[in-house]
């Protein structure tokens, strides 16, 4: 009887030491760190969908930055020649002077254009990126606001690339902690893109006000539409990534609070 009693006490002592060692191992310096939270299958699908939305914004941004159809400046149809008229379209990097046939222009249109009509074209790159010289368009001098617009757009494009890298790493490692940096990158890039459009529009107005000897009609073209849509889409993508970075669903939490208040 006494031998069984001592054996039982010894086993209980061993179990206590083992449990104490386990607690100390978890809380002590030698314990393993908790693993980061892994994303679920449904969360991964939502992140991929939001990433697709952001990629559409990136593609539209690249398309808008690489084309020279930000604005069209048109002379009156019969300003110099009854048979031909001239117009200019330019973007952030170069401008193109086009000579169009008046007979191809819409009779109800008072100015020359649009740029899609067939005609001769002469394109030159802006020199204020290299030598610092301002461009002269129809005796009107451009300012360096285009340079500020290009810098904002390029920096926004850099943030888009950084955000895309964060999302790619998050999907590869299946960890959601990189969603917040990606959300900030896409939000800031969208704001910079929209700000660049505002600065560009002000530069066009400044160009028109530099000389009033030649009347010109201006209209923002499809490249600005691409960039503006890209800015809105990038902000939407950033908001989606920010919502997906939360460890809980805002809709489910609001619904649960509403149910608890009713009960």
Supply the CATH number for residue 215's domain. 1.20.140.150
Q: Is residue 26 part of a domain?
A: no
Please tell me the predicted confidence (pLDDT) of residue 127: 84
**Is pLDDT at 230 greater than 50 in this prediction?**
yes
Please tell me the predicted confidence (pLDDT) of residue 213: 78
* Residue 2, Cβ density class (10 Å: 0-12 exposed, 13-18 middle, ≥19 buried): exposed
**Is pLDDT at 4 greater than 70 in this prediction?**
no
The total domain count for the chain is 1
Mean pLDDT value of segment 95-101: 91
**Is pLDDT at 220 greater than 70 in this prediction?**
yes
**Is pLDDT at 23 greater than 60 in this prediction?**
no
DSSP per-residue string spanning 77-106 = TTSS-SSEEEEEEE-SSEEEEEEEEGGGS-
Model pTM greater than 0.95? Answer: no
Q: Is residue 60 part of a domain?
A: yes
Q: Is residue 79 part of a domain?
A: yes
Q: Is residue 258 part of a domain?
A: no
When mean pLDDT is compared over 22-31, 79-88, 160-169, 252-261, the highest value belongs to 160-169
The Cα 162–Cα 182 span in angstroms is 7
Q: Is residue 132 part of a domain?
A: yes
Two tokens at 3?
């031998």
Percent of the chain, pLDDT > 90?
Answer: 38
**Domain extent for 49:** 41-246
> Helix, strand, or coil here: 111?
strand
Q: Is residue 27 part of a domain?
A: no
**Poorest-pLDDT segment among 21-25, 32-36, 178-182:** 21-25
Alpha helices, DSSP H, located in the chain: 2-27, 41-66, 145-173, 179-209, 222-244, 250-262
Q: Is residue 95 part of a domain?
A: yes
Please tell me the predicted confidence (pLDDT) of residue 39: 64
The Cα 237–Cα 46 span in angstroms is 11
Two tokens at 76?
């009156």
Please tell me the predicted confidence (pLDDT) of residue 30: 47
DSSP per-residue string spanning 155-169 = HHHHHHHHHHHHHHH
Mean pLDDT value of segment 104-129: 87
Instruction: Work out the mean pLDDT of the chain and round it to a whole number.
Output: 81
Two tokens at 5?
């009693």
Mean pLDDT value of segment 119-143: 83
Please report, for residues 38, 185, 196, 211, 223, the alpha-carbon distance to residue 155 in angstroms, rounded to integers and kept in the order given.
32, 11, 11, 32, 18
| Banded model confidence at residue 214, pLDDT cuts 50, 70, 90 | confident
Which residue bears the tokens 């669903």? 249
Task: Please provide residue 75's backbone torsions phi and psi, each rounded to the nearest 5 degrees.
Answer: -80, 160
Q: Is residue 31 part of a domain?
A: no
Task: Please provide residue 119's backbone torsions phi and psi, each rounded to the nearest 5 degrees.
Answer: 170, 180
CA angle 54, 59, 61 (to 5 degrees): 95
Residue 137's nearest CA partner among 196, 75, 69 is: 75
């Amino acid at each position: 009887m006494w031998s069984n009693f001592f054996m039982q006490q010894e086993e209980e002592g061993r179990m206590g030491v083992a449990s104490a060692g386990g607690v100390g191992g978890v809380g002590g310096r030698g314990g393993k760190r908790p693993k980061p939270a892994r994303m679920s299958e449904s969360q991964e699908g939502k992140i991929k969908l939001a990433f697709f939305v952001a990629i559409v914004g990136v593609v539209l941004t690249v398309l808008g930055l690489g084309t020279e159809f930000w604005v069209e400046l048109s002379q009156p149809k019969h300003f110099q020649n009854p048979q031909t008229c001239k117009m200019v379209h330019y973007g952030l990097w170069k401008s193109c002077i086009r000579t169009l046939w008046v007979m191809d222009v819409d009779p109800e249109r008072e100015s020359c254009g649009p740029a899609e009509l067939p005609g001769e074209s002469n394109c030159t790159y802006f020199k204020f990126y290299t030598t610092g010289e301002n461009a002269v368009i129809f005796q009107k001098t451009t300012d360096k606001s285009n340079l500020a617009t290009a810098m904002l757009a390029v920096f926004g494009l850099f943030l888009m690339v950084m955000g895309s890298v964060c999302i790619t790493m998050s999907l590869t490692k299946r960890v959601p902690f990189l969603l917040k940096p990606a959300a900030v990158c896409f939000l800031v890039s969208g704001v910079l893109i929209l700000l660049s459009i505002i600065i560009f529009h002000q530069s066009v107005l400044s160009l028109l006000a530099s000389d009033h000897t030649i009347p010109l009609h201006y209209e923002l073209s499809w490249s600005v539409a691409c960039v503006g849509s890209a800015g809105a889409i990038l902000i939407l993508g950033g908001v989606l990534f920010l919502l997906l970075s939360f460890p809980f669903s805002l809709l489910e939490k609001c619904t649960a609070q509403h149910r608890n208040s009713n009960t």
